[in-house]
Structure 1
Amino acid sequence: MLSLMSKYRLNSSILSIGANDKSVIILDSNYTLYELLDDEFIFVKKIFDFTPQHHFSKACAVSMQGFIAIGKPKSNLCEILYLKNGNLKHIKTLSWHKADIYNIRFSRDGKFLVTGGEDGKVFVFRLPDFHIVNILPPRPDYISNIHFGKISKLIVYSSYDLQNCVFDMEQNIIVGTFNTNSVVEDIVFFHNDKKIFCVCSNGESGIYDIENKSLDLKQNYNFWLTRTGLSKDDNYAYIGARGNILSYLHLDTNTPRFNVLLEYEDGVSFMRVINARLYIGYSNGYLQIFDLTKYENELQKAIDNNDYKNAKEISDKNISLKTHKIYIEFMKQCWENEFKKAKEMLQKDTSETTLNNVMNNIKVFFEDKDKKDEFSEFMSNIGVFKEFNEAVLTKDYVKAYKLIEENTMIKQTSEFEKLENIYNQTFEAAKKLLLNNSLESTNEANIILKPFLLVPSKKETINVLLRNANKFAQADLLLKNKHFVDYFKLAESFKEIKNTPNYKKAIIFGEQILATINELETKQNFNKALELTEILIKFVPFSKVALDKKNDINLKVEFLNLYNKKEYIKIYQSIQKYASLKGLLEYINLSNHFNKIFDDALNLAINGENKTAYNILKPYFNIPFWKNRIDSIFNLSYLNEIEINIDKLQENDKATQSNAKDENPINWKLTLETYIYMFGKNDELIKICSKNNEILDILNKLEVESKDIDYLPSIIIYDTL
C-alpha cells in the first residue's frame, strides 16, 4: 500500500502536473488550471475554450518552473503561459508545426521544451524565451512520445510507426533506434542516461541499452499501460495503466515486483513525484497525493537494530520504501545470513519443529520470488545435503564428490568448503613428503592421498603429483621468487599445477593487481598504472586484459597530450574511435567548452547577429565531429535571418507600399537558392516564406537540389546597383 495524504476531485481528466518554486500546478483536459499551495487551491480558472483534449492526451505539459504549454486542437499552435501566486501570464504562441501537436514535454532540468506533432516533426525550444534551438530528424508518422535525459543532452522520441529514436543534442545526431510491437505510451531515461525504459499500449515494457544497442522487451502486463516514472534511487519504475493497478518494476531485470491496488479504475492519466510526494491524476478527474517518506525514520531504526522482520512490516505500510537501496541491501545481507543458518540447521535436522523455526525466520524474504525459488530448490535437495554431510563425516570422499557433480548447489555450502580444505591440506602435505625422496615418505604420501585417489576429479592431479613431485616443487619456487612468466608457462605445459592452492593464490594476486591498476587509472596516475600492466602481462591468464588495459591507458595519455595542445580534430577523431575516452574529466570540460561556444553562437544568431556568430564558429568548421551541430546552428540562423528580412519587407510595404529605395534590394531567388543548396526546401522555409506571397511564389518556382557549399556569414544576398 501507499500512504495517502489527500485527494481532490477536479473538473476533468488530469493531463499534467508541475510546479513553481512555491506551488503545485495542475492542468486538466478542459483547460482548467489549478494552483495548489499548502493543500489549498489559490487559483482555479478555465483558461481556454478549445475543444477538450482526450482523457489521456499528451498535448499539454506543466514544467517545474511554472510554465504551461498547451497544444490547441485542430491547429498547429502551442500556447505558452506562466503561473505563479495566482498570476497567469501569456508568454508566447508557437506555430512551427504543420499539423496538430500530439506531444509536449519540458526537460527535467527546466532548460527546454519539445513538441512533437501529427506531421512527424519535433521542435526544441529553449526557456525562458521559447526561441527554437533545434529541429530533430522527422518521422513518417505521428509522434507518440518524447522525453529528455536527466541533463537534456539526449532526447528519445517515439512515433506511431513503432520506431523510437535517441537523439544526441550535443552532437546533433541520432545515436540509437529501436522498435516495439505497439505504441510507446511513456518513456524515461535512467542509469545516468545510458538506458531507456518504456511502457507500451499492449502491456509490454522495454529496456534499451544505448551503448550496446540492445533491447529487452517483455510482455509483463495484460493491460494498457499509460504512464511511468522512476523511484528515488532510479532502480525501480512505477507504472500506471488504464485500470486500478500501480506496478513497481525492477529495472535491472525488467520484472514487475510489487503492485498497489488504486482507488479508481478509470485509469492513470498522469503521475509525477514532487518533493517526495507522488501525485497521481486519473482520467475521471481525481487527484491523489501520497507521502513517499512515510515511515522512513521507523525503517531506518529497524535497519540500525538489525531487525529485518520489523523492516519488512514497515515497508509493507509504504511500498515505495521497498525500492530504497538501503532497504534492498539490508534485506539482501539478512537473507544471506539467515539462509546460511537455515541450510546448516536443515542439513542436520529436518524435523517439523526445526522446519517451522526456519520458516518463521525466512518467510519474510519470500516477497522476492527469486529468494523463494532459491529456498524451494534447496528444500527439494535436502536429502542430498544430509547424504553429502554424512559422506564427508565418514571420509567417503568418492561418494561426496559424486554427489557434488550431480548437485551443484552443494558447492554453496560451508561443508563443501571444509571438504576442499581437507583435500588441499592433504595435497600440500603429500607434496612435502614426496620431496624427501625416501621410500618411507613416498609410502606415507600414498596413504594420506588414498581416500581421494578414486575421486575422478582429483585422480589425475594426484597421479601426476606422485610421478612428478619435482614439477610442483619447481612451480612453488618460481612463484615464491615472483618469476611469473616462467610460473605460468610451466602451468600451461603442466596443467595439473592449475588445480593447486598456490595457483589459485596467484590468480587472486593477479586480480588484486588489476584492481590496483583500475584505481590508479581512475586517479590518472597513468605512469604507475602502466608499470603494473607490464607486471600483469606476465600473468598468462591476465595477459590479454592487461594488454587491453595498457592500450587503453596509452590512449588516455595520448588524449591528454592532444588536449593540452588543443588539437581538436585529432581529439575528436580519437573520441569517435574510442568511446571510453568520454569518461575523462578533460573530455567533459572540453564538451562544456564547446557547448558554451555553440550556445553563444546560437544566441547571437537568434538576435540577428549572424556575422558575429559566423566568426565564433569559423575556427571549428573543419572538425567533422561537430559538423551536424554547426549545421543546425546555421540552419536556424539563416531561417531567422530570412524571417527577419521578410518581416521588414512586410513592414516597409505597409508603410510605403513599396520596397525601401535607399537600400540594395535583396535577391530573393539567389538567397533562397543558396539556403536550399545547404538545407533543402524544408517545411520551415516554406512556412516563413508564406508570410509574403511574392517570395513564396519565387520559392515554389525554384527547382534546385542540395549540394555542399561553404557556410556564409549571411544567407541574404543583395542585388548590386
Structure 2
Amino acid sequence: MIYFSAKLKLHSPVISIGCASDGILFVDSDYRIYKTSSSLKEFLYNKALFKNTDSHHEYSKAVDCFNNFISMPKSHNRIDTIYKLTDKIEIISRLTWHKSYVSVSRFSPDNRFVATGGEDGRVYVYNKRDYKIYAIMPPRPDYISNIVFSSRSKYIAYHSHEPKSIIYRLDTNEVLAEFATSDKVEDSVFFENDTKLVFVCKNGNVGIYNLLTNELDLQPSYKCWLTSVTLSMDSNYAYIGAKSNLFYVHDLNTNRPFLNFSIESNATSIIRAIDDKVLFGCPDGSVLILDPNKHIEEFTKVCKSGNLKKAYDFADANNPLLKTLKVYKNLKESLWDEAIDKATNLISRGNLKDAINLMQPFLEDSILDSKFKEILESQALIREALKKLAQKDYTKVYAIVNSTENMRELGFFKDLEHFYKREYDLASATLERDPWLNLQKAKQILEPFANIPEKATEINRLLNNASNFTVANNLAREQKFKELFSLADTYEFLKDGKAYKLAFMACNKLYDKALHDVYNADLKQTGYLTILKYLSTLSPFTNMANDLLKIASLRLEIIKMIAKSDYKGCYKLMEDHPEVYTTKEAAELEKKVDAILTSCKDIAYQGKTLVVYNKISMLFDIKKLAPRIASIMKIAYLYEIENAKAAEYNKIDWIATFTNYIRIFGRDNELICLCNDEALRSVINFIHEKKTQKIEYIKEMVVYLEDEGRNERTY
C-alpha cells in the first residue's frame, strides 16, 4: 500500500507541473496557472489567462512551465506564447515559426532553452536569452508527440507519431540516433549522466536507448496506455503514470517492472519529481503528492544493521518506495549468495516452505525470481550434487552442474571452483620452485580434478611442460624478454610465474614513459622512438607500441597542418584516424574552432550574414562541421531577410532573394512562416524549387533592386 502525503485540487485536468524559484507551478487544460508554496500547503497564485477559449486535451503536451516561465499556446494554434510569472503575469515573447498547431513545448532543465514541436513535424529550439532560433531540428513527416532535453542541454530527444525518435546533439547540430519505436512515445527522460534515454509508449512498452553503445532495449512491460515518466531521486528507477488507476516503479538497470501501486484517480496525465516530492497530475484535476523518502532515516538504520527481512517488512508497512533506495539494493546484492546457499541447503533437506520464506525479499526482483525458480526446478539434482561433493567426487559434481542452467552460480559450486583455483596455483608454484623434484607432488595435488573434462587439458599442459619454468627463469636473468614472452605465449601457465611478472613490470615502465612522451612532450626531444621500436618486438606490447608509433606520426602531421592553418586537412586527418582526437593539438584545435562557431552564431542572430560568412568560410568544406555550419548560416540568412523585410521592404528584389534561399534550403517551413503576407508568399510559390546537390553559401542573401551585383552571384 502506498500513502500519498497530500492532495491538491485544480479546476481542470492537470497538463503541466514545474518548479518555480520559490514554489511549484501547475497549469490546467483551461489555461489556469497556479503557484503554490514549496511546502504545497497554500496557493500563492491562481488565475486563468483566457476564458471562452477551447480547452487543451486532458493529456496535452503543448504547455510547459519551469522557473516562473510558462510556454502556452492556445489549443489548435500555431503560435506559442511565453509568459513570466512574478507578482503578475506578463508576456515575454511569441514564437511564430510553426505553420501548423503546436503539439509540444518544453523548457530545458538548465533554463537556457525552450523547444516547441508541432503538427507540422517541426521542432524549434529557442535561446531563452532573446527567444531567437538556436537550432532547427530535422523535420518529421508526422506530428511531434514529445520533446525532452538532457540535464545540461547537450542533447535533445524528440518523438513523432510515425513512430520515430531522434536524439540530436545541440552544440554540434548532429543527429546522434534515429530509431523506430513500437508505438507513439508519450514521454521520455535522460538518465545515467545523460548517456541513456528512457521512454514510455502508448502501447505499454518501455524503451531504453544507450547513447554510448547505440543500442535500443524495447520491452513490452505493461498492458495499458502509458502517459508520463520521471526519475526516482537516485535515477535507478523510473516512476511511470498511465491511463489507469496504477502507477509503476520500473527498474532502469534491467528495464523490467519492479513494483506497482494504486492511486486515488483513474489515470495520470503528468508525473514529475520536484525536490523531494513526486507529483501526480490527473485528468480529474487532482494533484497527488508522494514523499518517496518518508521514514528514510529509520529504514536506512535497519538496512545498515544487515537485517534484510526486517527492512523488507518495514518498507511494506510504512513506505514501499524505500525499496528503490540504493542502500536496500546493495543489502540485497550483498546477501544474495549467502541467502541462496541457505535456501539450497533447505531445499536439499526438503524444507521448501522455509526456503521460499527466506528468499521472499529477493523475489520482487524479476531476474532473481527467475533464478530461484530454476533452482526450485532442480531440487533433485542439487541434492545429488551436494551428496557427491561431500564424497569429494568432484568429477560427478561437475557433470551434474553442467547438466542444467544456473547451478554454476550456486555457492557450493563457486566454492568448489575457488578450491580448484587454489590447488592449481599451489601446484604451479610448487613446480616453479623445482619442476624435477616436485612433479609427483603437483600431480597428487591436482589428482581429484584430473578426470574433469573442462580441467584436464589445463592440468596436463602444466604437468607435461613444467620444465619450462626453469627455461623462463634463465631467460629472465639474461634479460632475454623477447624469448621469455614468446615462450609464455605457448605455455600460458608461465604468465603466473615470478619470472614473467618481473619482466612484464620492467617493460611496462618503459611503455608508460613512451606513452607520456607521445601525448605530452616535444616529440623531437624525447627517445620515444627507440623505446617503442624495442617494445614492438615483445608480444605483450606489440600492438600497444605500434599504436603509439602511429599516434606519434599523426601528431607530427597535425602539428604541421595547424602551423599552415590547414583546418580542412586537420579534420580530414581526424576523420580518417579518430585516435588523433586524443592528442593535445587536436583538443586545442577543436576548442579554437568551437569559439569561432559560437561567436558566429551570436552574430547570426543579428542577421549580419557577411560578417558570419567571412569568419566561417574557411570551415565550409569540413564534413564534421557541416551540420553546425548549416544551422548557423540558415539562422543568419533568416534574420537577414527578417531585418531587411522590416526596414527596406520595397527596395528588395524578392524573386532573387528567395531564389537564393530556395536554391540552398528549399521552400521550407521557416521561409514560409517568415513571409507572412500574401505578396511574399505568392513570390515564394512562383519560384521553381531546385536545390543544389552541393551547398554553396553566399555572402549575403538579400538582393536589392538598385544593386543586383551586390551578392557576387548570377540568377
How does the TM-score come out when normalised to structure 2? 0.83
Give the AA of the match of 1:690. Answer: N
Alignment partner, residue 712 of structure 2: none
Q: How many Å apart are 1:26 and its aligned residue?
A: 0.6
For structure 1, which segment, 478-487 or 399-408, has the greater mean C-alpha deviation from structure 2 after superposition?
478-487
Aligned CA distance change for structure 1 residues 523 and 402 (closer, same or farther; 3 Å) = farther
User: Distance between the aligned counterparts of 1:696 and 1:563, measured in 2?
Assistant: 48
Q: Deviations over 1:519-561 (max 9, x none)?
A: 9989997689x999999977857865x4687479759967995
Q: How many Å apart are 1:202 and its aligned residue?
A: 0.9
- 8 Å CA contact 1:2–1:292 kept in 2: the answer is no
User: Distance between the aligned counterparts of 1:351 and 1:516, measured in 2?
Assistant: 61
User: Distance between the aligned counterparts of 1:488 and 1:119, measured in 2?
Assistant: 65
Aligned CA distance change for structure 1 residues 649 and 513 (closer, same or farther; 3 Å) = same
Partner-residue secondary structure (3-state), 2:628:
helix
* Correspondences of 1:265-284 after superposition (within 5 Å): 265=266, 267-284=267-284
Alignment partner, residue 120 of structure 1: 121
Aligned CA distance change for structure 1 residues 616 and 412 (closer, same or farther; 3 Å) = farther
User: Distance between the aligned counterparts of 1:712 and 1:610, measured in 2?
Assistant: 6
Alignment partner, residue 640 of structure 2: 641
Give the AA of the match of 2:68. Answer: G
Q: How many Å apart are 1:36 and its aligned residue?
A: 0.8
Aligned CA distance change for structure 1 residues 372 and 533 (closer, same or farther; 3 Å) = farther
Question: Structure 1 regions of 5+ residues with no counterpart?
Answer: 651-658, 660-664
Matching of residue 667 in structure 1 with residue 653 in structure 2: yes
Q: Deviations over 1:18-76 (max 9, x none)?
A: 1321121111011111111242112111111320111111111112x211112222331
Q: Deviations over 1:295-317 (max 9, x none)?
A: 23223333443343444344443
Alignment partner, residue 10 of structure 1: 10
- 8 Å CA contact 2:121–2:139 kept in 1: the answer is yes
Q: Deviations over 1:469-505 (max 9, x none)?
A: 4245435665788766434533554xxx446793799
Aligned CA distance change for structure 1 residues 586 and 181 (closer, same or farther; 3 Å) = farther
Alignment partner, residue 474 of structure 1: 471
Q: Deviations over 1:661-698 (max 9, x none)?
A: xxxx33333222222222222232233333362x4444
Matching of residue 202 in structure 1 with residue 188 in structure 2: no
- Aligned mate of 1:75, from 50, 74, 77: 77
* Correspondences of 1:173-184 after superposition (within 5 Å): 173-184=174-185
- 8 Å CA contact 1:510–1:536 kept in 2: the answer is no
Matching of residue 260 in structure 1 with residue 257 in structure 2: no
Aligned CA distance change for structure 1 residues 513 and 197 (closer, same or farther; 3 Å) = farther
Q: Deviations over 1:89-123 (max 9, x none)?
A: 12222221111111111112111111111111222
Q: How many Å apart are 1:201 and its aligned residue?
A: 0.7
Aligned CA distance change for structure 1 residues 167 and 453 (closer, same or farther; 3 Å) = closer
Matching of residue 408 in structure 1 with residue 392 in structure 2: no
- 8 Å CA contact 1:666–1:716 kept in 2: the answer is yes
Q: How many Å apart are 1:243 and its aligned residue?
A: 0.5
Question: Structure 2 regions of 5+ residues with no counterpart?
Answer: 709-715
Q: How many Å apart are 1:191 and its aligned residue?
A: 2.9
User: Distance between the aligned counterparts of 1:635 and 1:175, measured in 2?
Assistant: 21
- 8 Å CA contact 1:72–1:100 kept in 2: the answer is no
Aligned CA distance change for structure 1 residues 189 and 466 (closer, same or farther; 3 Å) = closer
- Aligned mate of 2:496, from 479, 496, 502: 502
Q: How many Å apart are 1:124 and its aligned residue?
A: 1.6
Alignment partner, residue 656 of structure 1: none
Q: How many Å apart are 1:588 and its aligned residue?
A: 7.5
Partner-residue secondary structure (3-state), 1:297:
helix
Alignment partner, residue 146 of structure 1: 147
Alignment partner, residue 58 of structure 2: 55
Q: Deviations over 1:274-306 (max 9, x none)?
A: 112111100111101112332232233334433
Alignment partner, residue 654 of structure 1: none
For structure 1, which segment, 575-584 or 321-330, has the greater mean C-alpha deviation from structure 2 after superposition?
575-584
Q: How many Å apart are 1:339 and its aligned residue?
A: 4.0
Q: How many Å apart are 1:603 and its aligned residue?
A: 3.2
User: Distance between the aligned counterparts of 1:21 and 1:82, measured in 2?
Assistant: 12
User: Distance between the aligned counterparts of 1:443 and 1:649, measured in 2?
Assistant: 101
Q: How many Å apart are 1:143 and its aligned residue?
A: 1.3
Q: How many Å apart are 1:718 and its aligned residue?
A: 4.3
User: Distance between the aligned counterparts of 1:550 and 1:448, measured in 2?
Assistant: 44
User: Distance between the aligned counterparts of 2:128 and 2:78, measured in 1?
Assistant: 20
Q: Deviations over 1:601-646 (max 9, x none)?
A: 3333333444444444345445432232222222222222222222
Matching of residue 367 in structure 1 with residue 333 in structure 2: no
Alignment partner, residue 602 of structure 1: 601
Give the AA of the match of 2:687. Answer: L
Q: How many Å apart are 1:200 and its aligned residue?
A: 0.9
- 8 Å CA contact 1:484–1:538 kept in 2: the answer is no
Alignment partner, residue 713 of structure 2: none
Instruction: Report the count of equivalent residues.
Output: 692
Give the AA of the match of 1:282. Answer: C
- Aligned mate of 1:702, from 672, 687, 704: 687
Give the AA of the match of 1:719. Answer: E
Alignment partner, residue 136 of structure 2: 135
User: Distance between the aligned counterparts of 2:604 and 2:262, measured in 1?
Assistant: 53
Partner-residue secondary structure (3-state), 1:7:
strand
Q: How many Å apart are 1:148 and its aligned residue?
A: 1.6
User: Distance between the aligned counterparts of 2:231 and 2:588, measured in 1?
Assistant: 29
Partner-residue secondary structure (3-state), 2:5:
strand
- 8 Å CA contact 1:302–1:311 kept in 2: the answer is yes
Aligned CA distance change for structure 1 residues 690 and 21 (closer, same or farther; 3 Å) = closer
Alignment partner, residue 240 of structure 1: 241
Partner-residue secondary structure (3-state), 1:120:
coil
* Correspondences of 1:599-638 after superposition (within 5 Å): 599-638=598-637
* Correspondences of 1:79-90 after superposition (within 5 Å): 79-85=81-87, 87-90=88-91
Q: How many Å apart are 1:400 and its aligned residue?
A: 4.3
Alignment partner, residue 699 of structure 2: 712
User: Distance between the aligned counterparts of 1:16 and 1:260, measured in 2?
Assistant: 22
Give the AA of the match of 1:486. Answer: E
Alignment partner, residue 221 of structure 2: 220
Give the AA of the match of 1:674. Answer: N
Q: How many Å apart are 1:152 and its aligned residue?
A: 1.7
For structure 1, which segment, 632-641 or 399-408, has the greater mean C-alpha deviation from structure 2 after superposition?
399-408
For structure 1, which segment, 579-588 or 566-575, has the greater mean C-alpha deviation from structure 2 after superposition?
579-588
Aligned CA distance change for structure 1 residues 318 and 670 (closer, same or farther; 3 Å) = same
User: Distance between the aligned counterparts of 2:164 and 2:246, measured in 1?
Assistant: 27
User: Distance between the aligned counterparts of 1:519 and 1:315, measured in 2?
Assistant: 54
User: Distance between the aligned counterparts of 1:278 and 1:142, measured in 2?
Assistant: 29
Q: How many Å apart are 1:583 and its aligned residue?
A: 7.9
Alignment partner, residue 167 of structure 1: 168
User: Distance between the aligned counterparts of 1:462 and 1:515, measured in 2?
Assistant: 33
* Correspondences of 1:508-657 after superposition (within 5 Å): 546=544, 550=548, 568-573=567-572, 575-577=574-576, 594-595=593-594, 597-649=596-648
How does the TM-score come out when normalised to structure 1? 0.82
Partner-residue secondary structure (3-state), 1:625:
helix
User: Distance between the aligned counterparts of 1:310 and 1:574, measured in 2?
Assistant: 61
Give the AA of the match of 2:663. Answer: Y
Identity of aligned residues (%): 29
User: Distance between the aligned counterparts of 1:346 and 1:679, measured in 2?
Assistant: 73
- 8 Å CA contact 2:408–2:414 kept in 1: the answer is no
* Correspondences of 1:318-329 after superposition (within 5 Å): 318-329=319-330
Partner-residue secondary structure (3-state), 2:125:
strand
- Aligned mate of 1:490, from 487, 497, 500: 487
- 8 Å CA contact 2:555–2:580 kept in 1: the answer is no
User: Distance between the aligned counterparts of 1:558 and 1:328, measured in 2?
Assistant: 51
- 8 Å CA contact 2:141–2:162 kept in 1: the answer is yes
- 8 Å CA contact 1:510–1:539 kept in 2: the answer is no
User: Distance between the aligned counterparts of 1:523 and 1:5, measured in 2?
Assistant: 61
User: Distance between the aligned counterparts of 2:315 and 2:143, measured in 1?
Assistant: 42
For structure 1, which segment, 267-276 or 424-433, has the greater mean C-alpha deviation from structure 2 after superposition?
424-433
- 8 Å CA contact 2:188–2:200 kept in 1: the answer is yes
User: Distance between the aligned counterparts of 1:333 and 1:514, measured in 2?
Assistant: 36
